[in-house]
Structure formats: C-alpha cells, structure tokens
Amino acid sequence: MVGRIEDYALIGDLQTAALVGRDGSIDWLCLPRFDSPACFAALLHDESAGRWQLAPASGGAATRRAYRGDTLVLDTEWDTPDGTVRITDCMPVRGEAADVVRVVEGLSGAVPMRMDMRLRFDYGHVAPWVRRVGHQLAAVAGPDAPGCAPRWTCTATT
C-alpha cells in the first residue's frame, strides 16, 4: 500500500534520489538521474509499478526513523514482539554508477525479515528480464533487449 507523502524520507547521491516509506519500501527511484524514467514507481500506483521493500515479516510502520547527523543516511527501526531491527539506507556519492545500500542490523532478539524487489522500468510499464551474471543480477528491458544495447538496465550484487 502506498503511503502518504509525509511518510517518505529522501536518500540520494547528488544525481538522483529515492523515497523510502515508513514500511521499509523504496517506492520511487529514477535511474541513473533525476530526469530518468523511474524503476520503482509504486508512489504513482501500487507495488505492481515497482518497489523494493525490506522490513520485518510481521509488517507495520517503523517505530523510529531519523537521519544520521547532517547526512542523507537514514536509520529506520522497528520494535516487534520478536525483537528490534534497524535498516540503514543510503546512496553513496557515485563512482561509475548509482548505488542503493540497504543494511539490516539486528539490535535485539531474532526478527524474521522479508524482502520484495519488483523492478519495473519506464514508470512501472516495462517488466525486465532478470538473469544472474556471476555474483550479480542483471535486469534488462526495452526495445533493444535482450539484444545489443538495452534501453534500461539495473545491476544488483548478491
């Protein structure tokens, strides 16, 4: 379910940015730049338009959320019956490509987690082909894919 705009926090790398909901879902991200088509666009529709949710399996909104100091490094914490967990989200200043870094840290107990990544290029209109390339997943879509030069690409390290 898409949240209210005030329930989103911004992370970014000076060339693009993502919106992270209180439920642990990245519901908006344009890659590789601010003016590029979105690969996560649930903010405009629902999860079928693309999102990356990382949260306790029990669900629910975060208990606490704050930026670290004067940065766009976001800490989101959930207190659950099983314990407490923190997810740290950031987009480091870019080298060759944009990176979205999500770190899960167990603070107490043992909290079951779930992840749901739905890449949808072109504002949720194009479902990519996903394949494993070594230790990475490569998602490709568009009129040139899977041929020579894909129109949209995304790579994730596993």
54-75 pLDDT, tens per residue? Answer: 999 998 889 999 999 999 999 9
Separation of alpha carbons 78 and 98, rounded Å: 27
- Per-residue confidence band for 151, with pLDDT thresholds at 50, 70 and 90: very low
> Binning pLDDT at 50, 70 and 90, where does residue 115 land?
very high
pLDDT digits 0-9 by tens, 91-110 = 999 888 889 999 999 999 99
Confidence label for 152 from pLDDT (cuts 50, 70 and 90): very low
Instruction: State the pTM of this model.
Output: 0.86
